[in-house]
Amino acid sequence: MASNNMHHMLQAQVSLIGLLLGFRVYVPNRDKDGVANELNKLIEELRLEQVNAQDVGDMGQLISECNEVPAYACEYDRFDTLQEIDVIWVVPRHLDRIYNAFEIVCDERNKAQVVRTAFDHLRQGLLNLRIIERGAFIVCPNNEYRDYIIRKCVQDKFLIDDGNCVFKVLTTKEVKELLHYAVKFNELNRKYGLYADVESIIYFVYGI
């Protein structure tokens, strides 16, 4: 139960970052209520008035908003896999294209299994369907867990041409820091019309 609560909490943090940056945000149908509960706590804690927990949709809503299942998903019969990705961000004008995808791994007892599942979900979108446009991320509890994920990435040859992993790994501490900056960027956006996506913030904060 504790692991499940942490999972929803991290989904909520990642979802809130996406909302603050102006994306449409979607989570698996089964997680929507749990994410909404955690998101309400965050919104109250941060005293945010411009976002609402109901702004986070589920994949059923995304399909409905697209009017039909995107052609690439029908062709490859893999939309069921996309529905398992923990958080996706979509540009409002292009609901049939995923901008960023996030997998959350926080189970210490079944580390190998949850990491393998995260790889499978991201591999489907990145390599097979090629619909995750800008970047994929795995969120994990700490640096030790991150090192394990990267080792598994190398072992599984889940790599890009330069030998690096095809996704970035963020710790929970880094997600909290990114949320802090997303709140600031949102304030700047509302005041001055400045826009930033998650890659911009990561570069701004970490220089990577």
Domain extents in the chain:
2-199
Percent of the chain with pLDDT over 70: 66
End-to-end Cα distance, the chain: 34
**pLDDT (tens digit, 9 = 90+) per residue, 9-43?**
999 999 999 888 888 888 988 899 999 999 999 99
Rounded CA-CA distance 174/183 in Å is: 14
78 or 45: whose pLDDT is higher?
A: 45
Rounded CA-CA distance 121/100 in Å is: 13
Residue 206 has pLDDT above 80, yes or no: no
Residues with Cβ within 8 Å of 14's Cβ and at least 6 positions away in sequence, in order, are: 86, 87, 102, 104, 139, 175
Rounded CA-CA distance 201/206 in Å is: 8
**pLDDT (tens digit, 9 = 90+) per residue, 45-73?**
998 877 888 888 876 676 566 554 444 44
pLDDT value, residue 66: 58
* Contacts of the segment 50-58: beta carbons below 8 A, 24+ positions apart: 50/186, 50/190, 51/16, 51/19, 51/20, 55/19, 55/25, 56/15, 56/19, 56/25, 56/26, 56/27, 56/32, 57/24, 57/25, 57/26, 57/27, 57/32, 58/26, 58/27, 58/28, 58/29, 58/31, 58/32
Output the CA torsion 148→153→155→158 (10° steps).
170
**pLDDT (tens digit, 9 = 90+) per residue, 146-195?**
999 988 888 877 665 555 667 888 999 999 988 988 888 777 766 666 55
- Exposed, middle or buried by CB within 10 Å (0-12, 13-18, 19+), for 152? middle
pLDDT value, residue 49: 79
